[in-house]
Chains A and B, each alone.
Chain A
Amino acid sequence: MSRSNKLFGDKAFDLLKELERSSQTIPAFDDDGVRQVLEEIKAIFEENVAQASTYNASGDRSLWPLLNFRHAALQRNKRCLLAYLYERCKRIKALRWEFGPIIPGDIKQSLCEPEVHFFNNYSKSLAAYMCSAGYNQGLPIDLTNNLRPPKSLYIEVRCMEDYGKFELDDGEVIHLKKNSQHYLPRAQVESLVRQGILHHIA
């Protein structure tokens, strides 16, 4: 039981530190770190169980503070782990609103399998909700549009990259080429602007 200066719970804290450092994007899921913390929890638990059973047998209270400390460490680890997962879930939800229903490939790489699953499920339930919200009109409402109240119907946009053809609702096809400028209905291009393909000018 002779451990080095490394205290219990430090590894779990490192996970959170890493997450906090990159406050905007999602860092890669730290598989190894999580596993190490889980192992630590397991080790603490087993030691505690062993000690608790000897305590029950002998009634010797001298190890009580140690038991207490390890229990606190166990709970601390649990809290750090849960907070780590929860914060990532929160950021994944934000992804849905910012990037739209498709995650860019390199971000997807930094998610683990269940997280991708979570994203898909979240996307699905959001879509289901948007359908039900517009039920009275018979049309789904896209809640990710118009995050700010619109002031004008048309906006002038400049294309930031070669996007290709883009079809408007009335059937007109626009060729979005880099550095070209267009005057387009706001509602239809808002998501493109938010994804950085178009740039709203004036």
Chain B
Amino acid sequence: MNYFPNYYSIEDIFVTQEKVECRVNTKLQRMGFLDSGADTDDLEPGRTVNLPLWYIKELKVNNAYFTVSVPEIYRNVHKAVCEAETTHIELGRLHPYFYEFGRYLTPYDRNHTLRQRVRHLLDISKSDGQAAKAEHRLDNIEAKLHEAGVRTNSQYIEWLQMTGNKIRTSVLVEEHQKKRRRADRSDDEGETRHTKKVASMSSPLAMYTRESFSRMVLRMLRSETNGVENSIMNISRK
């Protein structure tokens, strides 16, 4: 039993929640509840049921009870399209977790078409990581790659323009404030919002007292540029 990338991965849980079509091979007593169309208590051979991936994972590949049929999206038709024009497929529409899902189903695909495809597709997703694309064309992994690429790019530009040292309001706080503002708006308009005092500011501040003298010197020069400040700071340290 292995979990990828780890036991607590929510993404992996999402993938394994997916249902896969299976054919029943033997009579399974009292498992009729799995088949919504069945009226008997038992599961008859020959029926097809949708089973979640987390159950199939537990079974052996060649188990006597179920035969797993590989979903349409990993079949040959799509493979042909894929090889013809790789960037053209709307992967996200086929399946939001295309690669991860495929990874689990690999053992059930006798033709190994899937293996080639996954590798093939990984190549293209790397190459188009930067381009802005319509959301639904990317599958989950590709969307993440894309996001990472865009973020790296913007950080690089920031670094080039030397604006990276600006302190920003943290993302979590921003979200929280937005939510609060929304709530306030929906509440009574005239109500005065109480501002939250942030307590215990003193402890992180106490550590800087040693340097406060040089800061006072610096304050007199507050109109100077950063470079001058830095050099003065260095001198006063020496």
Contact = CB atoms under 8 A, between A and B. Distances in A.
Interface of A: 1-3, 5, 7, 9, 13, 16, 19-20, 24-25, 62-63, 65-66, 68-69, 71-73, 75-76, 79-80, 82-83, 86-87, 94-95, 97-102, 104-107, 134, 139-142, 144-145, 148-155, 161-164, 166, 168-170, 183, 185-188, 190-197, 199-200
Interface residues of B, number: 67
Contacts of B57: 72
Contacts of B172: 24-25, 94-95, 98-99
B217 to A, nearest CB: 11
A154 B222 contact: yes
B139 to A, nearest CB: 16
Contact of A102 (B164, B167, B200, B203): B200
A194 B173 contact: yes
B101 interface: no
A199 B177 CA distance: 14
Contacts of B195: 161-164
B212 interface: yes
A194 B201 CA distance: 13
Nearest to B196: A104
Given A65-B28, A102-B199, A194-B173, A16 B10 contact: yes
Interface of B: 3, 7-10, 13-14, 16-17, 28-31, 33-34, 36, 41, 52, 54-55, 57-59, 65, 162, 164-177, 179-180, 183, 195-201, 203-210, 212, 215-216, 218-219, 222, 226, 229-230, 233
A193 B168 contact: yes
Nearest to A86: B8
Contacts of B164: 148
Contacts of A150: 165
A168 B201 CA distance: 10
Contacts of A163: 195, 197
Q: Which of B31, B33, B197 has the most CB of A within 10 A?
A: B33
Contact of A188 (B3, B7, B205): B205
Contacts of B196: 104-105
Nearest to B3: A79
Nearest to A141: B207
B229 A152 contact: yes
Q: Which of B8, B41, B175, B209 has the most CB of A within 10 A?
A: B8
B74 to A, nearest CB: 23
A179 B28 CA distance: 72
Nearest to B170: A98
Contacts of B199: 102
Contact of A185 (B9, B10, B204, B215): B215
Given A107-B176, A139-B210, A187-B208, 4 more contacts: A150-B165, A152-B230, A169-B206, A169-B208
A62 B212 contact: no
